[in-house]
Amino acid sequence: MTSIPDSSGIPDVFPLEERQAIYRAIYARRDVRHFREDQIPDQVLARIIKAAHQGPSVGFMLIRDLDVRNQVKELCEREQQATACYYDEPRRSHYLSLKLEGIVESSVNLCITYDPTRAEEVLGRNSIRETDVYSTCCTVQNMCLAARAEGIGVGWVSVLKMSQLRKILGIPHHVIPVPTSASATRWNI
């Protein structure tokens, strides 16, 4: 990490130790696929989700039900199999050996959603439709950094079909899940 000299003279700068902490979280964040068996205390999970919500407003689904999570996991496995069809050996076997999710091993899954029909006029969205997605991803990154600081592992899950994820989670057609955040969290190992 870059060493951080004192930025004396800049108003409203965080103290050195606080800046170092923020850089540490940014530098140490990783996608996690292997999880410990501990449960996440509710107050830790609440802090992470509250921090995420300091980004723009989106929907949050917490999925603890093992049957639902098994269905999502199966979705990922099918998708990984389907994607592998496009690769030749030895790449195909290598791809199939990759662990791309930790949906069931984790203690909780999160699916972050946004509803583009919710407001007719949103500043910025008149010009760039995708600002919906931008907002959602800022929320996800807030969550990932807060989780990293809390010692909670988070893994984005993007190897699945949105339409089928919607069906499993009961998400209406007009609401967009960011399935990269149908994530699995537990302590890092």
85 binds a second copy (CB under 8 A): no
128-149: b or e for each residue (b if 16 or more CB lie within 10 Å)?
A: eeebbeebbbebbebbbbbbbb
Which candidate, 120, 112, 109, 189, places its Cα nearest to that of 153? 189
From the list 36-44, 64-72, 103-111, 166-174, the region that binds a second copy by CB under 8 A is: 36-44
| CA geometry: angle 113, 119, 120, nearest 5 deg | 130
Residue 145 contacts residue 25 (beta carbons within 8 Å)? yes
CB of 69 to a second copy, least distance (A): 18
From the list 34-42, 64-72, 102-110, 167-175, the region that binds a second copy by CB under 8 A is: 34-42
Residue 159 contacts residue 76 (beta carbons within 8 Å)? yes
11 binds a second copy (CB under 8 A): yes
Q: Which of 42, 43, 67, 97 binds a second copy (CB under 8 A)?
A: 43
Q: Which of 72, 103, 111, 152 binds a second copy (CB under 8 A)?
A: 152
Residue 120 contacts residue 162 (beta carbons within 8 Å)? no
The whole-angstrom separation of Cα 179 and Cα 76 is: 11
CB of 110 to a second copy, least distance (A): 15
Closer to a second copy at the Cβ: 65 or 87? 87
Residues 47-66 that bind a second copy (CB under 8 A): 47, 50-51, 54-55
CB of 133 to a second copy, least distance (A): 5
Closer to a second copy at the Cβ: 19 or 34? 19
100 binds a second copy (CB under 8 A): yes
Assigned token pair, 60? 């949050």
